[in-house]
Amino acid sequence: MASNPKLEQAYLAHRPRLLRFLAARGAGDAAEDLLQELWLRLARAADSEAAANLAYMMRAADRLMIDRYRARRQEALREQAWSEAQPGLAEDIAPSPDAERSIAARQHVTRVEQALAALGERPARIFRRHRIDGLAQRDIAAELGISISTVESDLRRAYRAVADLRRTLDEV
């Protein structure tokens, strides 16, 4: 997993832009540290040719920040679960946690599906094709025989519905 010179060169050339992006992306003072973490990810990329591309690096930086945000949220959830798990707080014990959990999971999937279905068939389909199957918006437009701007606007509606759902759950 030694890094290749071309990748290293490209990284050094793009370093200031990446640093600026990470700082703006919420890293603040930790931007230098995160840049180091980003470099480790890039150096381990399966395709170092592709990784030497600015767009690839920026996307990897964006992903790094998304992962950090998720880790923070999950840590908070775990701490909450932990404090709720302290003996004494729940003397009379959880009723069948397995059943409760799988019900909660199914409810959440159902809510996401309903939120998307409420927009109609096309936005829901575009959401899946783009976000799960990883198709480019241009390819989805070709597949459905519609314009790219229609794909974009449907996608925004789907994103809004999903973000709204998450916010509603956070407020409970």
Partner 1 sequence: MNPDPSIREEAIRWAARVSDPEFGDWDDFTAWLEGDPAHAEAYDTVQFALDEAASLLEAAPGVPDVASAPANDNPPPPLAGRRWAWIGTAIAASLVLVATFLLWPGARGEADYATAPGETRLIALSDGSTITLGGGSRIAIAGEGKRKARLEAGQALFTIRHDARDPFVLAVGSETLVDAGTVFDVRMNADGLDLAVSEGAVVVNPAAQALRVDAGRKAVLAAGSYTVMPVDPDEVGEWSRGRITFRDAGPAEVAAELSRATGIAFEAGSAGSAVRLSGSIALDQVRADPRSLEPILGMKVRRDGGVWVISAQ
| Residue 44 interacting with partner 1 (CB under 8 A) | yes
Q: How far is the CB of 96 from partner 1 (least distance, A)?
A: 10
Which CB atom, from 12 or from 160, has the smaller least distance to partner 1? 160
What b/e string do you get for 137-148 counting C-beta neighbours within 10 Å, with b at 16 or more?
A: beebbeeeeeee
Burial of 74 (0-12, 13-18, 19+ CB in 10 A): exposed
| Residue 73 interacting with partner 1 (CB under 8 A) | yes
| Residue 6 interacting with partner 1 (CB under 8 A) | no
Which sign, positive or negative, has the C-alpha torsion 74, 76, 79, 81?
Answer: negative
Which sign, positive or negative, has the C-alpha torsion 40, 41, 45, 48?
Answer: negative
Q: How far is the CB of 145 from partner 1 (least distance, A)?
A: 12
**Which of 32, 33, 49, 75 forms a contact with partner 1 (CB under 8 A)?**
75
Q: How far is the CB of 103 from partner 1 (least distance, A)?
A: 9
**Which of 77, 142, 147, 149 forms a contact with partner 1 (CB under 8 A)?**
77
Q: Which of residues 9-28 bind partner 1 (CB under 8 A)?
A: 17, 20-21, 24-26
User: What stretches of the chain adopt beta strand conformation (E)?
Assistant: none
